Structure 1
Amino acid sequence: MNGNIGRWRLRARAGALAALSVVGVTGAGIAAADPAPSFAALLRQTEASPRVAILDAGVAQAEGLADQARARPNPTISVYGENFGGSSPYGGFGRTETTLQYNHPFELGGKRASRIEAGRAGIAVARARGAEGRVAYAYELARAYAGAEIADRRIALAQDEVEEATADLKVARALVGAGKEARLRELQAETELNTLQSALEAARAGRTVAFAELSALAGVETPYTSLSESLLDRLAARPATGPIDPLASVVVRAAQAERDAVERRIVVERKRAIPDITAQVGVRRLEADNATALIAGVSLPLAIFDRNRGNIAAAEAELRGAEARAAVVRLEARAAASSAQALIESADLRAAAAEHGLATAEETYRLARIAYEAGKSPLIELLAARHGLGVARGVILDAAAARLDARAGFARLSGRTITGDMLP
């Protein structure tokens, strides 16, 4: 009996480590796949995943735009003719004047330098957003990894409850057969068993979903069917945590980089309103005189209608928004940093309390079953004790999940993985 009660512990702890074949909703097996590696190894493998590729593409895009910002405006060459095809004496081509002209624009007011600075700021933003995205991805991957492990353990718990309910049903049938219990008690035990079997099927479906989500997040096409590491057990020990500087978090740095980039774009828009000049030099062929002459000139646009005021106003408004967002991010980071340690301590206390509650529930069920087998207590007390044991086991898993969430949140604020490794 004690073995039946305590078996769930062995299964729960081995659930994430055993190479289990995947079980579908209908109970049919699916083609086996390699188990997911350890979390640290899986995170390294995801460097080629689509989620990381999106971040790298953002940086590459910013670098391309910054490289383009260095480009100077292209010159133009024009060829045109004058004084031909008209009335006498310009009816033919005898008085044609043909001009070959080279036009070279010159940017004034430091436009190119401002574009280059804005391009560099854009790269800084992309890299900061990339670092933020990698930290967020590591956080999501850790939660998905732990979610798959929790789903494994929920199946083990559900299987234990079904086995215990089956054993209780056998006892109830024996008592009914001996005339010590009414037929109603057997029906109650059967109903309880059917309910627990339904819960087991739901747990199996949840496991399939959890492993599919982990596989999709990791960027693999064939879903994982098992895990090679218990992340929950690894985080059971209290880690060494210290204060977090909220202003050094990747989220705050990304928001500040965005604000600085917008400020650079304002300079670009303001300088864009400065007119540029175009120098012109060319050669003109005078057919009537059988001569060639040089021409030269300068053109300057008149800033009468378009002074780029709308774009400047839009950029200034964007800056105000970026500054407000950066302020919000700083406030949220400070709040998260101040509560991160408290959340970890609360999760640890919750886990310890859950362990004590489980021990009490196990002893309660053990005594209730002894009493029921001896005919000293009704079936309803045994069912209530087993229900309490199931709840206590679920609380253990919920506490482990809460502890992982607290650790993952702390790691995200620190710019690290949940296992303490620094991200690139």
Structure 2
Amino acid sequence: MSLIFSRPLFLVGFTAAAAFTLAPSALAEPAPTYEALLEKLDQNPLSIESMAAHEAAEGRALQAHARPNPTISLEAENAYGSGPFNGYDAADTTFSISQPLELWGQRGARIDAAQAQVEVTGIRRDQMRWVLSANLAQAYAEAEAASLRYDLAAQALSLTQADAEAVLALIDKGREAALRGVQAESEVEAARANVDVARANREAAFGRLSALSMLAEPITSIGDDLLNRVPQSITSEPRELPAVKVAKAELDAAERQVNVERLRARPDVTAAFGVRRFEEYRAEALAFGVSVTLPLFDRNTGAISAARAEQRAAEARLTSQEWAAQAERRAAQSSLDASISRTAAADAGEVAAEEAYRLARIGFDAGRISQLELRSSRAALIAAGNNAVDARLARALAEIALARLVGRAPFVETF
């Protein structure tokens, strides 16, 4: 049983007294469900950016399959000179076509490197999906918590007002000093200020959720959704962590790029074939040949060194990610387990605080306990309610952190 999540009978009276304070929130349309907002994540600019980056990599991979274009040339020699070469009658005209030849496996290496980049961007696209879903879940859970804290503050105000009225009644009967009434009124004003602060925090949390969800209309209320969900305590996650998958894909891409740069140092070979026309003899003959570049000045050593350095950096990142990811996964799992236990303890503490306040109120009305004891019981009840909200929020954040780490949407099995 909980002050917020299931109200006991003794709270019915002051819940009615708080109706005016809660009316704007209670009458408003609630926010879309978490699952409904998840379905719209593809419209998020960051999601669109990651998908576009993947499509760009796919386009470059497609382009990597293309072979170099041939070159067509038309040349004329021994024409429009002097002496016997006056005019065009002694000219030699050559029409030829030349084709660069990608030898040494250069084309295959280029295709492999481009395909490796497709793998990297594909994993990053999926990783962005989990990050966005985690951000959404966190904003949703924090908005829920802010709404519950506002309800708690309003209920605390009602409790304080009810206790103040009881104190004033005792003062009228001469059973309490007038000073107690001043103290009670001061407590009411402090509780009213807490309501204003909680309202501001709630509106800020609603604004963040509205902006993150790109909703046309701002959120004005939210129902209990994520905070009441109890995530399963899973001792092991079979899947490979996204951060490690990205690091492995980047290392593979770096290794393939080293091969590309190494093969670029090989000579470029071009084959040519054509027909030559001899105007003087009214005859034709074939012309063909092969040209090869000499790697005297540019052996691509700088690019090879850079590619190998990037490979070493990728290897270091992979090693770092493997160690860090395992540690973070164990920490996230431990945090989730602890938060589940904390929530159970907070609920039990709240039940005890509710009963303690109920008995304290009965004792105060009967004149058996002091106002100080009643105030202490009320403060303990309010603190227990806030502690229950904090425990549920911590449990939700632990589930969100674990889901982001292992690569899945929080609180859902498939997404």
Where does structure 1 lack aligned partners over 5 or more consecutive residues? 13-26
Partners of 2:185 and 2:285 in 1: how far apart? 110
Secondary structure of the structure 2 residue equivalent to 1:231? coil
Match of residue 237, structure 2, among 233, 238, 244: 244
Secondary structure of the structure 2 residue equivalent to 1:79? strand
CA shift digits 1:221-278 (9 cap, x unpaired): 333444466222221xx636242347x2233222212211111111111111111111
TM-score (norm 1): 0.82
Partners of 2:391 and 2:292 in 1: how far apart? 73
- Paired letter, 1:190: E
Partners of 1:345 and 1:34 in 2: how far apart? 31
For residue 18 of structure 1, what is the aligned residue in structure 2?
none
TM-score (norm 2): 0.83
Aligned pairs, number: 400
For residue 408 of structure 1, what is the aligned residue in structure 2?
400
CA shift digits 1:204-233 (9 cap, x unpaired): 232233233333333433334444662222
Partners of 1:408 and 1:56 in 2: how far apart? 23
For residue 308 of structure 2, what is the aligned residue in structure 1?
316
Partners of 1:199 and 1:96 in 2: how far apart? 100
Q: Indicate if the aligned counterparts of 1:52 and 1:134 stay in contact, CA closer than 8 A.
A: yes
CA shift digits 1:72-118 (9 cap, x unpaired): 11112233444456666667555554443322111111011111112
Superposed, 1:352-371 pairs within 5 Å as 352-371=344-363
Match of residue 60, structure 1, among 48, 52, 55: 55
Partners of 1:310 and 1:182 in 2: how far apart? 90
Where does structure 2 lack aligned partners over 5 or more consecutive residues? 9-22
Q: Does 1:387 align with 2:379?
A: yes
- Paired letter, 1:35: A
Match of residue 107, structure 2, among 95, 105, 112: 112
Give 1:420 deviation, angstroms: 4.5
Q: Indicate if the aligned counterparts of 2:153 and 2:198 stay in contact, CA closer than 8 A.
A: yes
CA shift digits 1:126-146 (9 cap, x unpaired): 222223222333322222222
Partners of 1:283 and 1:397 in 2: how far apart? 87
- Paired letter, 1:211: F
Partners of 1:11 and 1:107 in 2: how far apart? 77
For residue 338 of structure 2, what is the aligned residue in structure 1?
346
Q: Indicate if the aligned counterparts of 1:36 and 1:225 stay in contact, CA closer than 8 A.
A: no
**Cα pair distance change 1:36/1:420, threshold 3 Å:** closer
Secondary structure of the structure 2 residue equivalent to 1:74? coil
**Cα pair distance change 1:356/1:109, threshold 3 Å:** same
Question: Root-mean-square deviation (CA), in Å?
Answer: 3.2
- Paired letter, 1:204: R
Percent pairwise identity: 40
Superposed, 1:209-224 pairs within 5 Å as 209-224=204-219
Give 1:319 deviation, angstroms: 1.2
For residue 330 of structure 1, what is the aligned residue in structure 2?
322
**Cα pair distance change 1:310/1:369, threshold 3 Å:** same
Q: Does 1:10 align with 2:2?
A: no
For residue 138 of structure 1, what is the aligned residue in structure 2?
133
